[in-house]
Structure 1
Amino acid sequence: MPMYRWADLEEVPLNPLITGRVVEVPNAMLARIKAPKGPINMHKHDFDQITHILAGKMRWEIDGEEPRVVGPGDVLLMPAGVVHGGEVLEDAEYLDVFAPGRQDFSWYKQKIAQK
């Protein structure tokens, strides 16, 4: 069974706004992400997402609820199909669990296998 240390995984751009490290099993993905201060467009996707804030502050709006400011120790639950977004108020680091894994991050798994 594979085991990884975050520090041993290469931190790479995951999209134009964020960098991170990713591990994946067939039905889920865990990403450790760093996001700079700035907006997060409202969006939705076809996978469930659980976000655990490790550092920084973010303002999140989930499916028309009142926006809330979240920080270290807070956990956000976003079921598939629910619109969410907001703003990174202070540079942030967080863990994202995606089930099933995000197809647009799956290329990272190939980088791990090559090491």
Structure 2
Amino acid sequence: MKDHKSEPWLPAAQAVDEPVAPGVVRRVLAYGPDAMCVENRFETGGVGAMHSHPHTQISYVVSGRFRFTIGDETREVGPGDTLLKEHGVPHGCVCLESGVLLDFFTPMREDFV
């Protein structure tokens, strides 16, 4: 993958698919030291395993349906919904209907590049 950190433009054709789990593909989009945008495509049944990290994360549901757990609460979400995951709070999901999530991180995820 070509490092595109802090580049003001990222044509879609230059973003690289990275399988991260069965039925889950990640594409790192635009990012700089303070923020990162990531597209995650899920097939029905794909799992985003429970985890936490030192980044604040906002997820926007572009399409599909997901069962998300954030901390001790679980809810079903769909297109147009947004979720806030504060740094250090465990979270994860199961895809109920294939779809796309856009994740925004601050600061950027060094482990993704």
Which residue of 5, 13, 21 maps to 2:18? 13
1:100 aligns with 2:107: yes
Secondary structure of the residue that 1:54 maps to in structure 2? strand
| Structure with greater strand share of residues | 2
Superposed CA RMSD in Å reads 1.6
| Identity among equivalent pairs (%) | 36
Unaligned runs of 5+ in 1: 107-115
Label 1:16 to 1:87 Cα distance change in 2 as closer, same or farther (>3 A): closer
Q: Residue 78 of structure 1: CA displacement?
A: 0.2
- 1:94 and 1:11 map into 2 onto residues whose CA distance is 16
The TM-score normalised by the length of structure 2 is 0.81
Q: Work out whether residues 27 and 38 of structure 2, in 8 Å CA contact, stay in contact via their aligned partners in 1.
A: yes
CA deviation profile, 1:27-60 (whole Å, cap 9, x unmatched): 1110112122223322111111000000100001
Unaligned runs of 5+ in 2: 1-6
Instruction: Name 1:70's counterpart in structure 2.
Output: 77
Letter in 2 for 1:50: I
The TM-score normalised by the length of structure 1 is 0.80
Secondary structure of the residue that 2:111 maps to in structure 1? helix
Secondary structure of the residue that 2:31 maps to in structure 1? strand
1:54 aligns with 2:59: no
Instruction: Name 1:113's counterpart in structure 2.
Output: none
